[in-house]
Amino acid sequence: MQPLPGFRDFYPSDCTFRNFIFSRWREICRRFNFVEYDGPLLETIELYQKKSGDEILSQIYHFIDKGNRHVALRPEMTPTLARMVEAHFKEYKKPIKWFSIPQLFRYERAQKGRLREHYQLNCDIVGEADLEADIELINLAIDILLSFDLGKDDFVVRVSDRLFWTEFLKKKAIPRDDWYAFFQAIDKIEREPRVEIERRLGDLAKEVFAILESPPCWERFEILLEGLRHRGLADYVCIDLGIVRGLAYYTGIVYEIFDRAGEFRAIAGGGRYDDLLRQIGGEDIPATGFGMGDVVLGEIIRKKNVIQPSFPRLDVYVVFPEGKKNPQGLFLIEQLRRQGFSVDFSFCPSKLKKQLATAQSLNARFALIVSDKIEEGIVEIKNMDERTQLTLPVEQLAGWLKERS
Footprint on residues 331-390 left by a copy of itself (CB under 8 A) = 331, 333-334, 337-338, 340-344, 347-348, 358, 361-362
Residue from 54, 55, 67, 111 touching a copy of itself (CB under 8 A): that is 67
Number of residues that bind a copy of itself (CB under 8 A): 90
Q: Which residues, 249 to 308, sit near a copy of itself by CB under 8 A? A: 280-281
Q: Characterize 333-347 residue by residue with b for buried, 16 or more Cβ atoms within 10 angstroms of its Cβ, and e for exposed.
A: beebeeeebbbbbbe
Gap between the Cα atoms of 187 and 161, Å rounded: 13
Query: What's the CA gap between 107 and 65, in Å, rounded?
Result: 18
Smallest distance, a copy of itself to C-beta of residue 394, A: 15
Distances (CA, A) of 57 to 63, 151, 245, 283: 10, 38, 19, 26
Q: Using CB under 8 A, which residues numbered 11 to 50 contact a copy of itself? A: 11-12, 15-16, 18-19, 28, 30-33, 35-44, 46-47
> At 366, is the secondary structure helix, strand, or coil?
strand
Residue with Cβ nearer a copy of itself (233 or 241): 233
Binding region for a copy of itself (CB under 8 A) out of 129-137, 154-162, 209-217, 291-299: 129-137
Among the candidate windows 103-111, 216-224, 295-303, 365-373, which touches a copy of itself by CB under 8 A?
103-111
- Which residue, 72 or 241, has its beta carbon nearer to a copy of itself? 72
Residue 283's alpha-carbon distances to 121, 275, 276, 280, 317, in angstroms, are 25, 9, 9, 8, 59
CA dist 26 to 57, 121, 123, 268, Å?
32, 9, 11, 16
Query: Does residue number 213 form part of the binding site for a copy of itself (CB under 8 A)?
Result: no
Which phi and psi angles does 71 have, rounded to 5°?
-125, 160
Q: Please tell me whether residue 88 binds a copy of itself under the rule CB under 8 A.
A: yes
Of the candidate residues 63, 151, 184, 396, the single one contacting a copy of itself (CB under 8 A) = 63
Q: Does 151 bind a copy of itself (CB under 8 A)?
A: no
Nearer to a copy of itself, 39 or 242 (CB): 39
